Amino acid sequence: MDDLVDFVRGPGFVLDFSDASFSDFFSSELKVSIDDPKYAVNGGSKGKRLRYFLQSCDDATAVRTLTALWEHRSEYLARTGSKDPVVNAETRYQRLINRLSGGKAPQPAAHSPAACTADRQKIATIKSVLLQVTSLAPHARGYAFEGFLRDLFDAFGLAAQEPFRLRGEQIDGSFLLGGDTYLVEAKWEGQPIGVAELHTFHGKIEQKAAWTRGLFVSNSGFTDDGLVAFGRGKRVICMDGLDLYEMLEREIPLTRVLERKVRRAAETGSAFVRVRDLFPQ
Average pLDDT across the chain, whole number: 82
Could you give the angle at which helices 254-268 and 241-249 cross, rounded to 10 degrees?
130
39 shares its domain with 171: no
Strand-pair partners of 174: 161, 183
What's the Cα-to-Cα distance from 142 to each of 53, 148, 219, 260, rounded to whole Å?
A: 47, 10, 10, 27
Instruction: Give the pLDDT score at 168.
Output: 55
Instruction: Give the pLDDT score at 48.
Output: 92
152 shares its domain with 254: yes
Domains contained in the chain, number: 2
Q: Which of 78, 106, 134 is the last residue of a domain?
A: 106
Q: Which of 110-124, 147-161, 174-188 has the highest mean pLDDT?
A: 174-188
Q: Which of 49, 74, 106 is the last residue of a domain?
A: 106
209 shares its domain with 239: yes
Instruction: Give the pLDDT score at 228.
Output: 92
SS3 (DSSP) at 134: coil
**Model confidence band, residue 193 (pLDDT cutoffs 50, 70, 90):** very high
Instruction: Give the pLDDT score at 165.
Output: 53
Instruction: Give the pLDDT score at 230.
Output: 92
Higher local confidence (pLDDT), 173 or 245: 245
- Percent of the chain topping pLDDT 90: 25
d(CA 103, CA 84): 26
87 shares its domain with 171: no
Average pLDDT over residues 19-47: 89
Residue span of the structural domain in which 242 resides = 115-278
123 shares its domain with 257: yes
Contact assessment for residue 212 and residue 175, using Cβ atoms and an 8 Å cutoff: no
Instruction: Give the pLDDT score at 34.
Output: 94
124 shares its domain with 250: yes
**For 117-126, 140-149, 179-188, which range has the lowest pLDDT when averaged over its residues?**
117-126
Residues 103-141: pLDDT tens digits?
544 444 444 443 443 367 777 888 888 888 888 877 778
Average pLDDT over residues 253-267: 87
Higher local confidence (pLDDT), 114 or 95: 95
Residues 195-228: pLDDT tens digits?
999 999 999 898 887 778 999 999 899 999 999 9
121 shares its domain with 6: no
Instruction: Give the pLDDT score at 166.
Output: 52
SS3 (DSSP) at 81: coil
Instruction: Give the pLDDT score at 164.
Output: 56
Average pLDDT over residues 136-158: 80
Instruction: Give the pLDDT score at 112.
Output: 42
What's the Cα-to-Cα distance from 107 to each of 63, 67, 81, 115, 252, rounded to whole Å?
A: 12, 11, 28, 10, 19
63 shares its domain with 123: no
pTM for the model: 0.59
